[in-house]
Structure 1
Amino acid sequence: MSYSVGQVSAFAGVTVRTLHHYDKAELLSPSDRSRAGYRLYSEADLIRLQQILFYRELGFPLDEIAAILTDPQANALERLQVRRRQLSEEVARLERLAEVAERAIEVQQTGVPLTPRERFEVFGEVAFDLSYATEAELKWADSPGQREAMTRAAGHTKEDWRQLMGEGAAWRAELLAAFDEGEPSDGERAMDLAEEHRLHISRWFTSCPPGMHRRIADDFAADPRAFALVVPAPQQRPGLAAYACKAVHANAARHSEGRTDPEEDR
């Protein structure tokens, strides 16, 4: 028995255009033609279509599906195992992204509503890059410190934000002055500023031991979006992020001097 393109499209749930594309790509060519020249699909063609749709549902590209179906030596099992691992990783990533969205919803529901004018008054030029915030949340999703920071941030009042952002602005001015005046990044002044930043994080967001502070500073040096959270782009200078990072590392080393328990630095 043979089936027309329209019939196959209807019961297979694919468009006629898709069937024509498969034919053009030589992935699924109908076995016969009607007297009028219309495509006719056989039972064997439908079995092949089922296989194609199965692999497409799993996300295989058409050229890989063609290799699996046409090459008897193609290792379909190995390809499926690889794809299963990829899908498992994607599921895990999406689940973590869903958690990020859920936390963002909680922050929006429990956070302090600000008008655009109030937001500028509180945050000034400090920019919160959503793409960086999402990546950071995924990166540190398993960290108790990250969860505590999100919870505490959601609980801050508008006045809390005014105060902590004011502290940040004052600290930023001191950092810029030290950098512009040529203070060494491992000098007393720079290390004291690094320590002040560490205590600021502990005071407002989450306990920040020196080891954690080093990782935060490494992000400052590696990602401009992260450093923009503490020094807005218009105020930055070439080398400032690296300078701040080195100061944090020097301060962490100062803390660890004389300690025998490495856990104290983590």
Structure 2
Amino acid sequence: MRTVKEVSELTGVSIRALHHYDAIGLLKPTKVTRAGYRLYDDKALRRLQTILLFRELQFSLKQIKAILDDPNFDPAQALCQQIKMLELQYKRIGELIDLARRIRSKGVDVMNFDAFDTKEIRAHKAEVMEKWGNTKAYQQYEQKNVSVNKQSELATSLMLKFVELGKLKHLAPKQTEVQVKIKALQQFITDNYYECTPEILSSLGEMYVNDERFRQNIDKAGGKGTAEFVNQAILVYCSY
């Protein structure tokens, strides 16, 4: 058994991220001691390795959890798919390097956008989600069949929610004005993505602070500390 600190040192995953994985049910410790210490066995480490491979392939934590929790999930098949996607990424990176070198040698007027095409990678990602990621929330999102342009509009609208919340950081998370904004955030997600239950909203709040990309984007929209503020406000909202 390894402690959370030992797992963090071994894998490079922060202790905070491991705590978050536990909170959302993505990677539960094998055992929790009476003193509250999380312990992980080899089976848990193998699951973490699978998680990290999917993260390298740009799967979200929600998608990874849906895949791993599917009763039909086959680690061997998943590894084959991961290898294929990594090979495609390797090929794409090589093409990007070649393009950059051609531009350097022939001048900035060289234009070729083939290397930026991620169609094949996205197709394989969709295949993985179709095979193992069919949770209710994911199915609801897929059924909306949102266009690329609409996705961009929704992302912008979602960021505006964080801009509004960022302006309220001087208030306590439990203040009515803040809680009204959190309710609006929950409704926005339900209306445009999937039913945002209190459990899902709580998990999203944790993700906003523990996933570095989310934290950076939210703090960029609403100002430093917005992600943490939103998470605290969500915790209050979901405790009612």
- Shared fold (TM-score, shorter chain, > 0.5): no
Question: TM-score of the superposition, structure 1-length normalised?
Answer: 0.39
Greater relative contact order (Cα 8 A, min sep 6): structure 1 or 2? 2
Compare CA radii of gyration and give the structure with the larger one. 1
Question: TM-score of the superposition, structure 2-length normalised?
Answer: 0.43
